[in-house]
């Protein structure tokens, strides 16, 4: 089964915002990343617009010819409105608290079951595929299945940290178990956060039915040395059967 690579371009916007102009141009990068082989573009407009701005989402939507994935916290009505206005292929719901430096946990799908059911229904009724950000915990995957979500996105920072410390077999174990449970329950399966050129191939080899990975920070960092086209092609080769 092929696994799609969705390139998260948040960090292009970080660089652009650091000088106040429009260089690098996030719309041009979205066009080129797709031309270079990305199967999708992911953006994560945060409430403080530290990188991707709400207007970027509108501008990028116009140039999408692959898949568009918008990530964010549906507790922000502004985010919900932005998603419904721009109708991406997928929305990924992430339980970020304000002021987090990055996303660092999945949903408690047991405590938030009714809330998630309500919000997922809003997007699904608009025809948008829904994925929810989940830790690799069996009970959380089972809870996700009860919310009506189409997919889960396994939060992979824990895997990346353990892999980097040399414990790749213990790193992958909870993710394989969670992925098997998701498959058993009929959930689509995405993964993301801190995936990189070192750890991606092993993750895919152990979870071959993975639908999509969304990768940003490491991929954009690698592109500084290797070039964006070359980097996207190298990442895609890590996902090849
Ligand atoms: C949800 C997740 O883990 C990432 O997609 C997130 O978009 C990273 O956000 P930053 O780019 O703001 O670190
Ligand atoms: N959902 C994960 C994502 O879009 C990118 O995360 P990262 O590769 O920037 O850590």
**Residue 128: closest CA among 93, 87, 95, 94:** 87
Rounded to the nearest angstrom, the distance between the alpha carbon of 219 and the centre of ligand 2 is 9
pLDDT value of residue 1: 82
pLDDT at 136 over 80: yes
- Domain annotation for the chain: domains and CATH numbers: 4-238 (3.20.20.70)
pLDDT at 101 over 90: no
Which residues lie below 8 Å from residue 221, measured CB to CB, with a gap of 6+? Answer: 11
pLDDT at 99 over 90: no
pLDDT at 100 over 90: no
Which of 193, 194, 196, 219 to probe ligand 1 with, by most ligand atoms within 8 A of CB?
193
Place of tokens 């595929």: 129
How confident is the model over 119-129, as pLDDT tens digits? 999 999 999 99
Mean pLDDT of 34-39: 98
DSSP-derived letter for residue 97 is P
Is 86 annotated in a binding site? The answer is no
Mean pLDDT of 191-202: 98
pLDDT at 234 over 80: yes
pLDDT value of residue 102: 87
Annotation marks residue 193 as catalytic: yes
Quick check: CB of 8 below 6 Å from ligand 2? yes
CA separation (Å) from 230 to 24, 30, 40, 56, 173?
18, 15, 16, 25, 31
Mean pLDDT of 206-220: 98
pLDDT value of residue 181: 99
Share of residues in the chain with pLDDT > 70 (%):
100
Contact 70, 92 (CB under 8 A): yes
Angle at 239 between CA 238 and CA 241, to 5 degrees: 110
> Average per-residue pLDDT in the chain?
97
ipTM of the complex: 0.97
Mean pLDDT of 136-148: 98
Is 102 annotated in a binding site? The answer is yes
Mean pLDDT of 58-70: 98
pLDDT at 140 over 80: yes
pLDDT value of residue 97: 83
Is 46 annotated in a binding site? The answer is yes
CA separation (Å) from 12 to 188, 199, 210, 217?
28, 22, 26, 9
Query: Using 50, 70 and 90 to split pLDDT, how confident is the model at 223?
Result: very high
Contact 72, 94 (CB under 8 A): yes
pLDDT at 191 over 90: yes
Angle at 137 between CA 43 and CA 101, to 5 degrees: 35
pLDDT value of residue 25: 98
Longest dimension (CA), the chain: 48
Quick check: CB of 13 below 6 Å from ligand 2? no
């Amino acid at each position: 089964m092929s696994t799609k690579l969705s390139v998260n371009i948040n960090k292009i916007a970080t660089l652009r915002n650091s000088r106040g102009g429009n260089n690098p141009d996030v719309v041009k990068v979205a066009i080129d990343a797709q031309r270079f082989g990305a199967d999708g573009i992911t953006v994560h407009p945060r409430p403080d617009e530290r990188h991707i701005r709400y207007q970027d989402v509108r501008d990028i939507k116009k140039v999408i010819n692959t898949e568009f994935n918008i990530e964010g916290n549906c507790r922000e009505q502004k985010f919900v409105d932005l998603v419904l206005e721009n109708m991406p292929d997928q929305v990924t719901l992430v339980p970020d608290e304000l002021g987090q430096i990055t996303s660092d946990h999945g949903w408690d799908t047991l405590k938030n079951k009714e809330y998630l059911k309500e919000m997922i229904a809003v997007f699904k009724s608009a025809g948008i595929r829904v994925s929810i950000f989940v830790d690799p915990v069996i009970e959380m995957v089972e809870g996700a299945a009860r919310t009506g979500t189409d997919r889960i996105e396994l939060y992979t920072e824990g895997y990346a940290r353990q892999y980097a410390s040399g414990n790749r077999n213990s790193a992958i174990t909870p993710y394989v178990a969670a992925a098997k449970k998701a498959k058993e329950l009929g959930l689509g399966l995405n993964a993301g956060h801190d995936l990189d050129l070192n750890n991606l191939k092993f993750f895919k080899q152990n979870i071959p039915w993975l639908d999509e990975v969304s990768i940003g920070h490491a991929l954009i960092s690698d592109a500084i040395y290797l070039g964006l086209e070359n980097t996207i092609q190298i990442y895609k080769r890590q996902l090849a059967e």
